[in-house]
């Protein structure tokens, strides 16, 4: 499902309602937080040289695009062309995740054969930040009124919960690397993240196409 104007009265006012303004404010807050997390993860991925963090960075970029779609939809909820435009942007979002999954798969296979050192001192804090941020985003998004709980809302709920699970798995992986010294855990984590993204692709396609 996507945002649509259910009013059949052509003379209906296009002035945003109070609920719509709240929806816009909520999505703007979500977008600002997502961009902040994206910037932080970019720093962490570069410093840690971790494929898992790089994969999650691509995942977070897709999250930010999805939230941007939600923000646009909340602002232009009464735009009759909105549905077509949103479907087009959803396809762009699917393209982003497909590229991230494919590139992760190729690089992970290489690193499994040629393991590289990763800086766990950088990885651990970002995994913890990711868990806290995912919970925060989920709580903010969860305050949406019942009438705004459409397919987009369901997808973002799924997104934030899976983000928390991914970062928790990353934290477990970091501890495992610390105690075992097994460098192949990092590319294995990246494959796990890519698999989660593939599940999201299936969810997105089922809900919106």
Write the pLDDT tens digit of every residue in 41-77.
888 888 888 898 899 888 889 888 888 877 877 777 6
Return the pLDDT at 13: 43
Contact between 17 and 74 under an 8 Å Cβ cutoff? The reply is no
Question: How far apart (Å, rounded) are the C-alpha atoms in residues 163 and 67?
Answer: 14
Instruction: Say what percent of the chain tops pLDDT 90.
Output: 13
| 84 Cβ neighbours under 8 A, 6+ residues apart | none
Question: How far apart (Å, rounded) are the C-alpha atoms in residues 20 and 14?
Answer: 11
| 46 Cβ neighbours under 8 A, 6+ residues apart | none
Return the pLDDT at 6: 41
* Cα angle value 78/81/83 (rounded, 5°): 85
Return the pLDDT at 190: 92
pLDDT tens for 139-186 read 887 766 555 555 667 777 777 888 888 888 888 888 888 888 888 999
Higher pLDDT, 168 or 205: 168
* Structure-token pair, residue 147: 């009438």
Q: What is the mean pLDDT of the chain?
A: 77
Question: How far apart (Å, rounded) are the C-alpha atoms in residues 142 and 67?
Answer: 14
Range in 3-12, 168-177, 187-196 the model is least confident about: 3-12
Where do the domains of the chain lie? 18-208
Question: How far apart (Å, rounded) are the C-alpha atoms in residues 133 and 4?
Answer: 30
* Structure-token pair, residue 160: 């934030």
Q: Of 71, 72, 86, which Cα lies nearest the Cα of 29?
A: 71
Return the pLDDT at 120: 77
pLDDT exceeds 60 at position 5? no
pLDDT tens for 101-141 read 999 999 999 999 998 888 877 778 878 888 888 888 888 87
pLDDT tens for 75-89 read 776 444 456 655 766
The pTM for the full model equals 0.77
DSSP H helices, the chain, are 18-48, 51-75, 82-113, 120-141, 151-180, 185-208
110-115 long-range CB contacts below 8 Å, 24 or more apart? 111/51, 111/183, 111/184, 111/186, 111/187, 112/184, 112/187, 112/188, 115/183, 115/184, 115/186, 115/187
């Amino acid at each position: 499902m996507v945002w649509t104007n259910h009013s059949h009265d052509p003379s209906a006012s296009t002035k945003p309602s109070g609920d719509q303004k709240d929806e816009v404010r909520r999505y703007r807050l979500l977008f600002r937080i997502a961009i902040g997390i994206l910037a932080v993860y970019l720093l962490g991925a570069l410093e840690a040289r971790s494929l898992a963090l790089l994969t999650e960075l691509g995942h977070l970029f897709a999250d930010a695009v999805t939230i941007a779609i939600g923000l646009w939809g909340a602002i232009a909820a009464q735009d009759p062309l909105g549905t077509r435009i949103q479907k087009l942007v959803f396809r762009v979002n699917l393209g982003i995740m497909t590229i991230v999954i494919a590139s992760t798969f190729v690089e992970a296979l290489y690193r499994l054969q040629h393991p590289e050192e990763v800086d766990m001192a950088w990885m651990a804090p970002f995994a913890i930040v990711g868990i806290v941020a995912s919970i925060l985003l989920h709580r903010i998004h969860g305050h949406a009124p019942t009438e705004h709980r459409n397919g987009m809302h369901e997808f973002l709920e799924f997104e934030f919960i899976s983000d928390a699970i991914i970062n928790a798995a990353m934290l477990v992986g970091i501890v495992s690397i610390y105690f075992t010294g097994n460098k192949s855990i990092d590319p294995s984590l990246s494959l796990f993240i890519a698999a989660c993204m593939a599940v999201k692709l299936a969810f997105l396609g089922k809900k919106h196409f």
